[in-house]
Amino acid sequence: MEALVAAFAPIWVLTAVGWLAGRTGLLGAQAEAVLGRFVFHVSMPAALFTVVARTDLAGFANTSMLAFAAGTLAATALGLAASRRLFGRKPAEQVVGALAAGYVNSGNLGIPVAAQVLGDASFVAPVLLFQVLLVTPVMLAVLDARTGASAADRPGDRVRRLALLPVRNPVILGAGLGAVFSAAGWHLPGALAHAVDLLGGAAVPTALVTLGLSLHTPPGEAAERPGRAETAVAVLLKTLVQPLAALAFGALVLDLPRPQLLAVVLLSALPTAQNVYVYARLYGAAPALARSSVLVSTVLSMGTLSGIAWALGGR
């Protein structure tokens, strides 16, 4: 339990720093918007490029990833359906509901959790690739189409907009370039690689500070608050349904060995990534739902991750 607390502590500290900065007005009225754009357009692409470029793409073709993908598919599909059927969300907001239910915090939380519980952080690499190279482009493409296209657009315009998405969207561009470098075995020159590392290193702390800033509403402004039921559904899907679906598929269909099964289920139970809030904020699609899902699922996952490690024989 102490190891999990140590892994979660930076998340809470940096989020609290953001809240204090917002409450005191230290960074100004536009800080949340400016920092959010910095993460999305500059720092996060650099971080994704670095991670993917240094990861062997062969790790993507991992049998146990089928179980993780099954859990992700189940949670995101149910999250999408709940946003549409139960809560009447608009199409772009439905995408955020799906991400809140099934997009795990595999980077800044998955790596320390895997290292502490599994004894090997390399288990996280296929999950990162799956989310960065498959889930993120698909979801951002839908978000872009729903928020950027108008009813007057001709079919050709929409196809062209979708085709140019990797160039227009810095997150997809960064991940895509990283995949090219990984596949070709290329490396950036030393000084440039160090600069990209520094820039990418700012992504996680800045995103968490931005999340903290969003928790403070200036006097006179009405805060958008998702219904408790909607947050509860998203968090339930994220912390319980996704790992249970991965467990069922991994154990009953793939008959995974216990160590692989533990890794898949543990990583499936990670809380909603703060990236979901960054995407929701930039596209103006249900940012309050994303924010509350990140915070609540992070709190609850301390208990669920500990339970999984105990039940499936973690270290």
H-type alpha helices, the chain: 2-24, 31-38, 44-53, 63-81, 91-102, 110-113, 124-130, 136-148, 155-163, 165-168, 170-184, 190-201, 203-214, 228-236, 242-248, 258-268, 274-283, 287-311
* pLDDT of 25 over the 90 cut: yes
Q: How far apart are CA 301 and CA 308, in angstroms?
A: 10
| pLDDT value at residue 96 | 96
- DSSP secondary structure code for residue 218 in this structure: -
| pLDDT value at residue 14 | 93
Grade residue 269 by pLDDT with cuts at 50, 70 and 90.
very high
Would the pTM count as exceeding 0.85? yes
* pLDDT of 107 over the 80 cut: no
Query: What 3-state DSSP class applies to 202?
Result: coil
Q: How far apart are CA 211 and CA 230, in angstroms?
A: 19
| pLDDT value at residue 153 | 58
Q: Which residues, including other chains, have CB under 8 Å from residue 252's CB and lie 6 or more apart?
A: none
Grade residue 122 by pLDDT with cuts at 50, 70 and 90.
confident
| pLDDT value at residue 123 | 84
* pLDDT of 76 over the 50 cut: yes
Grade residue 161 by pLDDT with cuts at 50, 70 and 90.
low
- DSSP secondary structure code for residue 270 in this structure: S
Amino acid at site 142? V
Using alpha carbons only, what angle is made at residue 109 by residues 137 and 215, rounded to the nearest 5 degrees? 80
Q: What percent of the chain has pLDDT over 70?
A: 90
Q: What percent of the chain has pLDDT over 90?
A: 66
CA distances from residue 77 to 64, 145, 195, 241, 288 in whole angstroms, order as listed: 20, 19, 39, 11, 20
Per-residue pLDDT tens over the stretch 169-217:
899 999 999 999 999 999 999 999 999 999 999 999 999 999 999 888 6
H-type alpha helices, 215-272: 228-236, 242-248, 258-268
| pLDDT value at residue 151 | 46
| pLDDT value at residue 219 | 56
* pLDDT of 274 over the 50 cut: yes
- DSSP secondary structure code for residue 237 in this structure: I
The better pLDDT of the pair 241, 155 is held by 241
Annotated domain spans of the chain: 2-311
Per-residue pLDDT tens over the stretch 77-98:
999 999 999 999 999 999 999 9
The CATH classification of domain 2-311, taken from the options 3.40.50.2000, 3.40.50.10800, 1.20.1530.20, 1.10.287.370: 1.20.1530.20
* pLDDT of 218 over the 50 cut: yes
Per-residue pLDDT tens over the stretch 45-68:
999 999 999 988 887 778 899 999
Grade residue 283 by pLDDT with cuts at 50, 70 and 90.
very high
| pLDDT value at residue 28 | 93
b/e burial code for range 270-300 (CB count within 10 A of at least 16 → b): bbbbbbbbbbbbbbebbbbbbbbbbbbbbeb
**HSE-up (13 A, CA, CB side) for residue 95:** 23
* pLDDT of 116 over the 60 cut: yes
